[in-house]
A and B are shown apart, each in its own frame.
Chain A
Amino acid sequence: MGFKGLFESGQGFTMTDVEGKLVPERGRMDVEGAFTHVSSSQVNVAYKSTHVINYKRTRAEIGQALRKKPNYLHYDLVDKHRSSPLQKGTDNITVETDVKAPRDYRFIMPEFMPRPHFEYRDRVLEKLERRDMLRRRTVINIPEFYVGSIMAVTVSDPFAPNKKNRFLGICIDRGGHGLKAYFVLRNVVDGLGVEIFYQMYSPTLHSIEVIRLEKRLDDRLYYLRNCPLEHSTFSFDMEPIALPRGAQVPVNTLKLKLNPKPWDERWERQDLKGIEPIELTPKMIKGIQKVHNASATPWKKHDLMLHYRSKVNEEEEETIMAEVYKENQLLESMRKTSKATLKKKK
């Protein structure tokens, strides 16, 4: 029952459950189990007198009132209020865990994972957002793709002659959480590099097709801007190549050679695997060392809390992915039946 959490006052005084008892964190338990206070200042005897309408605050209390403090509730406390027996009229989300998603499912649809920042988490908002995304997936097919895959996208464009535009290119970036998910395609048109940013769940998208499904060695391929144009040139008439069933997604281990300087970014400072080793000048080496020293954080690998907060925890990840997996299986079965009926009609 989520009722116990309501004792938390939200004023920096938290309670923990020790052997079924609610005990302030600052207190200690005796051998006999009796509760003793660390200092006598915690027992505010003056407040025991009731019906004090207006009271004079101590100097320490005034100082505390002036001090900076968070004026929002913790998301766990909000969840406890939602599931409290005292609350009526508003539903709370329910967790169903009868199916289990495959382990790599998270990498196929990374946009379903919420933003891991704990201040911005809200389970009801995430649920409603996921529901909107799954609804959109019933209308258009958003296939599995990765950075490095070659894709073609059709959108409704007010400036195109037929009010529709088809663009084909290599996916150089992918990101965003929830409905804000995006990907970027790059191609060369009339000798000029063109990059287009697409919102994945925008209703202006009509179709997304994967021409060649593969991965590259890096997560972001913006260095293609400083490579010869032949590496980002793809014919608009390319025909899709389907992978055999159950085959692993191939990794393209192509290593590109960068154009001579000037560059858009200092590529030598980034740990890129998809480019040939750069001939480093003394100035470059100095810059690399400078950046390395400035951002040197050898203690970070020992910071367990930082590691824990940098991503959504595994249990929650499993429940989210199970929900998405269940919905997607339903969708796929619907698609198969519709295809079968179309074939019969022909």
Chain B
Amino acid sequence: MASKSLFTCILRPSPITLLCANNNNLALLPSSYACVQQVRHRRFPKFVVRPTTRKVWHVRKWTQKHDDKLITSNEQFIQDIVVQNYANKSESPLKDAPWNRNPYIKGTRRTGVLALKLGTMVQWTKDGKGINVTLLQVLDNHVINYVPPELYKFYPSHLPHHSDRFGLQVVGALSCDPRQFSKPYNNLFVKAGVPPKRWLTRFLVTPDAAVQPGTPLCVNHFRVGDYVDVQGRTRDWGFQGVIKRWHMKGMPASHGVTKSHRKMGSTGGGGDKDGIWKGKHMPGMMGNRFSTLFGVKIWRINTKYNILYVRGRSIAGAPHTFVRVSDTVLPTKRIKAENAENVPMPTWFPEDETEPIPEELFDEEMFQFTSPSVELEAES
């Protein structure tokens, strides 16, 4: 047992010997014959190494204002001009004619919205069963840009599995005063003709569901009873130890333990399985990463305040973080093409509705507080 068998040595060659084999004796050792060391790790890392360099397409967002010496009336004048240029525009922000609208077919993927997480609440079903819901407010959303698949293919951010099926839809939320942003950041919004936004994100959409830049998005993009995927940023915990980050047990408080009450144990085995494997749980930066909740039901919608009541309390992030809400990708819960008559494609437009929409929309199974108490039927 003590000595290694020759068989394992052949099966697990070091990368250096592999390289040599490839360089010198390619013909002798075909590539299919070479065994690569199997590395056990998770499918994607659960932790994120925070980047110290920016992406190529990144532009500086925030700047310092240099008009500190403005008096009050001048300040007011500038604010009036900002409002006049953006909010009280007489002409439509759309420069082209409206784009064609397509029906929802199999494989269509619509754009999502950016919502603000407000908090949680209790609601009840008609059986009297309590459910927890999270409130998401779709506040001041606009479509900023659309990049067709032909162009997106050559983008540095394009991934191979996107292929040429998807285009990019850039969506922004929360209009701000343009003076606090840099010029290149402000230039991103010229095409859409909307004020610069506090938050930007992108969704992958199929070309038949592309939305024209400058179009406002609201809560009617979704219907009650649909399922959505909600993606939010978790709380930032900073650099944390192994007990908080990975729920390891640590070591006892007494019985001869010194200086290692909150440390991890061993980092790995010996012999064949020696070394520290990739993905070993260790101390490091915790939180501030995106985590997704798939297939969440919409129980109730408020159209006046643009609020989605969504199942569960486990949506990532503290209250007042931004979350990305889009149609679910789960095969059993996604919108089917045969049930997609009322789906707003590519998004909801106010001119679609002939009658005024009710302020509140409820799911069929949802208890409404104006209705009488739940009565169970006695067995006969």
A residues within 8 Å of B by Cβ? 1, 3-4, 6-7, 9-11, 20-23, 27, 34-35, 42-44, 47, 50-55, 57, 62, 65-75, 78, 81-82, 84-91, 119-120, 122, 124-125, 128-129, 132-133, 135-136, 138-140, 156-158, 162-163, 178-180, 199, 201-206
Residue of B nearest to A129 (CB): B121
Residue of A nearest to B199 (CB): A73
Among A4, A34, A50, A119, the residue within 8 A (CB) of B69 is: A34
Which A residues are CB-close (under 8 A) to B317? Answer: 71-72
Q: List 14 A-B contacts (CB under 8 A).
A: A3-B83, A47-B63, A66-B50, A86-B82, A86-B83, A122-B135, A122-B320, A139-B369, A156-B128, A163-B377, A179-B122, A179-B123, A203-B367, A203-B374
Among B119, B235, B321, the residue within 8 A (CB) of A125 is: B119
Q: In the complex, A74→B235 CA distance in Å?
A: 14
Which A residues are CB-close (under 8 A) to B86? Answer: 86
The 6 closest A-B CB pairs, nearest first, are: A68-B238, A20-B72, A135-B369, A86-B175, A204-B128, A163-B376
Which A residues are CB-close (under 8 A) to B288? Answer: 71
Which of B11-19, B51-59, B162-170 is near enough to bind chain A?
B51-59
Chain B residues bordering chain A, tally (CB within 8 A): 79
Q: In the complex, A47→B62 CA distance in Å?
A: 10
Let me know if B130 is at the binding interface, CB within 8 A.
Answer: yes
Which A residues are CB-close (under 8 A) to B179? Answer: 7
B residues within 8 Å of A by Cβ? 50, 52-54, 56, 58-60, 62-65, 68-72, 75, 79, 82-83, 86-87, 116, 118-119, 121-124, 128, 130, 135, 137-140, 174-177, 179-180, 182-184, 195, 198, 216, 218, 233, 235-239, 285, 288, 302, 304-307, 317-321, 367, 369-378
Beyond A66-B52, A85-B83, A139-B371, 9 additional contacts (C-beta under 8 Å) are: A10-B198, A21-B72, A52-B184, A53-B59, A66-B285, A69-B236, A71-B235, A73-B116, A86-B195
Q: In the complex, A66→B140 CA distance in Å?
A: 30
Most interface-central of A1, A54, A86, A179 (chain B CB within 10 A): A86
Which A residues are CB-close (under 8 A) to B64? Answer: 42-44, 47
Which A residues are CB-close (under 8 A) to B369? Answer: 132-133, 135-136, 139, 201, 203
Q: Are A125 and B140 in contact (CB under 8 A)?
A: no
- Given A52-B184, A71-B321, A163-B376, A86–B306 Cβ distance below 8 Å? no
Which B residues are CB-close (under 8 A) to A71? Answer: 233, 235-236, 288, 317-318, 321
Which B residues are CB-close (under 8 A) to A35? Answer: 68-69
- Given A6-B177, A9-B62, A125–B121 Cβ distance below 8 Å? yes
